[in-house]
Chains A and B, each alone.
Chain A
Amino acid sequence: MAKKKKKVPGLNASSTADISFILLIFFLITTSMDTDSGLARRLPQPPDPDQEDAQIDVKERNVLNVRLNGAGDLMINSDIADIKELRPRAKEFIKNEADLSSLPEKHVKEIDLLGPCYITDKHVISVQTDRGTPYDVYFNVQNELVAAYNELREELSKAKFGRSYEFLTDEQKVAIRTYYPQKISEAEPRNYGGNK
């Protein structure tokens, strides 16, 4: 029997478009495109329960007190200040360029790539909040403090390596970070001035 060559009928693919449209719409609905970004911070380690409260003595000149009250007002050391003043104040404090006795003490420290440096490695910026402080005020304070560190690091990086901080090699970044270590401490909140 001589077979006739049968022609295979073409598959009707006109609905594939509809199917893929449905898939597309499904993905559009269930996924989100926002890239998450935020201010990265590190919390201190939990206190050791066996250990007695070791009060670490920090000299007064080494501490920059940033206090926030329940209404969101800002106080730097002992004066009421605006949020805009925080960044320059913090930079001045961390840097202590003129080696003033009211600003953090400086020590000579040997840093790889930079040699012996005269730096304020003992400084602490203490942020104290009230339970009623609005979150965005607190966030802005943190943001300004991080900005102060970033600006100082950027300046140092330009001066020492002639390049922006983000383009440095890892070793160079470590050196810069050792020069300006980020020391923001957060005290336990207090309930300043009354109502929760």
Chain B
Amino acid sequence: MGFKKKESREMPEMNTSSLPDLIFTILFFFMIVTTMREVTLKVKFTIPSGTELEKLEKKSAVSFIYVGPPTDQLRAQLGSGTRIQLNDRFAEPREVMDFVAQERQGMMNQAEQVISIKADQKTKMGIITDIKEVLRKSWALRINYSASRRN
């Protein structure tokens, strides 16, 4: 009689041999378009927005100075006053000079050194001016106020 089940049919296995290649392609894409996050941020900031922005070229010649209040986790110990972060630690304005010199050491094109200031919108100008004075003294004259684009 015809309704006897034939031998159980197996699902044909999907060929996944090209999956690694696919993933590798995505991986390489991400490796190319992204940049390594170098520091863990200890200050939080919302950068201002502007219209006349220029892209930061030559990433290798750029050093960042972060200015803002400590992050929520660190606020308990450090309060909410504005702080400067250089690399992975908090610093005083006068330490910027050493930082600039140190950063310059490792650069191929030292004359093109750019300091990008990433500061919170609500920062008071006093601290920014202090940083700028120190930057002037250490001959890091090309600076960049980091901002996001606004239309």
At the interface, is chain B mostly helix, strand, loop or mixed?
mixed
Instruction: Give Cα distance in the complex from A133 to B129, angstroms.
Output: 11
Tell me if A57 is interfacial: C-beta within 8 Å of chain B: no
Instruction: Give Cα distance in the complex from A35 to B54, angstroms.
Output: 11
Interface contact A27-B31, CB-CB below 8 Å = yes
A116 smallest CB distance to B (angstroms): 30
Residues of chain A lying within 8 A (CB to CB) of residue B36: 30-31
Residues of chain B lying within 8 A (CB to CB) of residue A188: 129
| Chain B contacts to A: CB under 8 angstroms | 16-17, 19-20, 23-24, 26-27, 30-31, 33-37, 47-48, 50-56, 59, 62, 114, 116-117, 119-126, 128-129, 132, 135-137, 139-149
Residues of chain A lying within 8 A (CB to CB) of residue B53: 37-39
Residues of chain B lying within 8 A (CB to CB) of residue A46: 136-137, 139
Interface contact B120-A135, CB-CB below 8 Å = yes
**A-B pairs, 9 with minimum CB distance:** A131-B126, A31-B34, A16-B20, A136-B121, A143-B50, A20-B23, A38-B146, A133-B125, A135-B123
- How many chain A residues touch B (Cβ–Cβ < 8 Å)? 48
Contact of B24 among A20, A36, A136 (CB under 8 A): A20
Interface contact B136-A142, CB-CB below 8 Å = no
Tell me if A42 is interfacial: C-beta within 8 Å of chain B: yes
Contact of B125 among A135, A147, A150 (CB under 8 A): A135
Interface contact A143-B16, CB-CB below 8 Å = no
Tell me if A8 is interfacial: C-beta within 8 Å of chain B: no
Instruction: Give Cα distance in the complex from A147 to B150, angstroms.
Output: 13
Tell me if A40 is interfacial: C-beta within 8 Å of chain B: yes
Instruction: Give Cα distance in the complex from A155 to B136, angstroms.
Output: 33
